[in-house]
Amino acid sequence: MNPVAKKLLIVEDDADFAAAVARAMHKRGFEVTVAHDATEAGAIAGTFAPSHALVDLKLPGESGLKVVEMLAAREPVPAIVVLTGYASIATAVAAVRLGARHYLAKPADADEILAALLRDAPDAALEVSPEPLSVARLEWEHIQKVLNEHDGNISATARALKMHRRTLQRKLDKRPPRTG
């Protein structure tokens, strides 16, 4: 790939993390720009025309999945990698279906991010552990699935789960339980 054509849009609300990844990707030959929310990402994508994008799933306002969907509708479609500290099977499947090539759980180092960005094809299958999921992890996965079905709307998800909205918010603010 021509170094001039390697244009990376990083959509990440953590400014320090975004700056660190931007520096690392710049050293690896990318022209980099950063957006901190979905609205800013949409505005930048129109003028910057990224060939690659690294999108955090949890952004202020709209979900990173909306950014993936917006970027995947562009021509040519950038190579999109979703990066999140709140990994779940449901969101990984949704991200890939919307157009992401890969889905990485934080923390991911610069070499892992680079490998994911340069993949030629989307993940055909997600990694499946031979160990059964814990009850806590099954609950987390179910909440993520229902949240995704309701486009990230906390109130609608809480109603669907027959759960108080604040209880759901507390569960979502925690790190996902371990898989095993």
* Nearest residue to 38 (alpha-carbon basis) of 10, 61, 8, 71: 61
CATH number of domain containing 168: 1.10.10.60
Please indicate, yes or no, whether residues 100 and 143 belong to a single structural domain of this protein. Answer: no
Whether the model clears a pTM of 0.75, i.e. scores above it, the answer is no
List phi, psi (to 5°) of 34: -125, 140
CATH number of domain containing 34: 3.40.50.2300
| Residue 35 pLDDT grade (very low, low, confident, very high; cuts 50, 70, 90) | very high
Please indicate, yes or no, whether residues 113 and 143 belong to a single structural domain of this protein. Answer: no
Give the pLDDT of residue 91.
77
Q: Does residue 104 form part of some domain? A: yes
Q: Residue 130 CB: number of other CB atoms within 10 A? A: 5
Domain extent for 152: 135-173
Please indicate, yes or no, whether residues 35 and 73 belong to a single structural domain of this protein. Answer: yes
| Residue 2 pLDDT grade (very low, low, confident, very high; cuts 50, 70, 90) | very low
Please indicate, yes or no, whether residues 149 and 86 belong to a single structural domain of this protein. Answer: no
Find how far residue 122's CA is from the centre of its chain: 14
Q: What is the dihedral of CA 136, 152, 86, 167, to 10 degrees?
A: -40
* Nearest residue to 78 (alpha-carbon basis) of 131, 21, 116, 130: 116
> What is the rounded CA–CA span in Å between residue 141 and residue 98?
19
**pLDDT tens for each residue of 124-138:** 444 444 455 567 767
Tokens standing for residue 31: 């022209």
Please indicate, yes or no, whether residues 79 and 155 belong to a single structural domain of this protein. Answer: no
Give the pLDDT of residue 73.
92
Strands 79-84 vs 31-35: parallel, antiparallel or unpaired: unpaired
**pLDDT tens for each residue of 52-102:** 999 998 888 888 889 999 999 988 889 999 987 766 777 778 888 888 888
> Residue 179 above 70 pLDDT?
no
